[in-house]
Amino acid sequence: MGECVFCLSTAALHDNQVLSRGRSVYVCAPRGQLIEGFLAVAPYACVGALSRLPAEVFDEIERALATVVSFYRDAYGRGSWLVYEQGRGGGGASTDAVAGFPFHAHLCALPIDVDLHTALARRFTAMEIGALRDLPATAGDAPYLYIDGVDAGGCRRRSVYLPMTPPLRAELERSRLKPLIAALAGLPERGTWRAYPGDAELAALRRRFAQWRGSAPFGHDDRGDPFRQRRDGA
C-alpha cells in the first residue's frame, strides 16, 4: 500500500504545503495544481471519507472553506468556485482498488466554475444538502461524490451523488473527478498530478497565500480565519 498523502506523519506533504492548521482539520496546497489555487481541507485523522467524521468537525470544515473562499475572492478576484469531495471511501473501502493508495478524506477547492452536476446526474442520484453537516445522514454507508458548485443554469448547488445499484457503486468507487474537471476546463492534459504536477503554480500559490494571510489584520473576521483560536494558543 502506498503512503498516505494526507497523513501529516508521512511528510508526503511538505510543511510549506500546509497553509493553515486548525483543531481537527488543516488546509493544504497539494501537488497537481490544475490551475493555481488548488487547495484541500483535510482532517488530521486518516478517515476514508468526510461522511465518516464525527459531527462536531463539520463546523470547522465550513470555517476552513470560508477562508478558502475569502482567499479566492481577494487573491484571484473570484466570486465563484468549485468545491468537491470524492467520497469513494464512504462505503468503508480504505484503499484505491487500482492504484493502491489509502483513502484519506479531503475536500478539494478550485477557483474556477465548472459544471460537474450535469455529467454526474447522468450516472448517479443527486441529493441536495444545505450544509456539510448533513453529509453523513445523506450518504449513510455509501460511497458518494460531493459537489458544491454551479450547475448548467449557473445556480450554485451542494449535491451528494449516490449510486443506486451495485454496478454503479463499483463505478463510483473507481471514479476520478479531476480528469473530468480538467477536460471541462479545457485543460485535458492536466487531469492527473503525474501528468501535470503544477509545481510552478504550487510555488506561486504558497507565496500568494502567505502574502494574503500576512496582509490580514489579526483576527479580521472578513478573512474568515477559522484557526484564530489555535494560533492564539500556539
Binding site for Zn ion (CB under 5 A): 4, 6-7, 46, 104
- The radius of gyration computed from the CA coordinates of the chain, to the nearest angstrom, equals 17
Closest CB to Zn ion among 6 and 124? 6
CB of 29 to Zn ion, least distance (A): 17
Closest separation in Å from C-beta 22 to Zn ion: 17
Closer of 7 and 183 to Zn ion (Cβ): 7
CB burial of 125-145 (b: ≥16 within 10 Å; e: otherwise) equals eebebeebbebbebbeebbbb
Determine the length of the chain. Answer: 234
What is the separation, in whole angstroms, between the first and last Cα of the chain?
35
Nearer to Zn ion, 6 or 209 (CB): 6
- Give min distance, CB of 102 to Zn ion, in A: 5
| Residue 104 beta carbon to Zn ion: minimum distance, rounded to whole angstroms | 3
Q: Collapse the DSSP code of 192 into the 3-class scheme (helix H, G, I; strand E, B; otherwise coil) and give the result.
A: coil
For residues 191 and 182, the answer to whether their CB atoms sit within 8 Å is yes
Q: How far is the CB of 155 from Zn ion (least distance, A)?
A: 34
Distance CA 161, CA 143 (A): 9
Kindly tell me which of 173 and 225 has the beta carbon lying closer to Zn ion: 173
Dihedral pair phi/psi, residue 66, rounded to 5° = -60, -35
Cell numbers for 25: 482539520
- Nearer to Zn ion by Cβ, of 49 and 69: the residue is 49
- How many angstroms separate the CA atoms of 234 and 228, rounded? 10
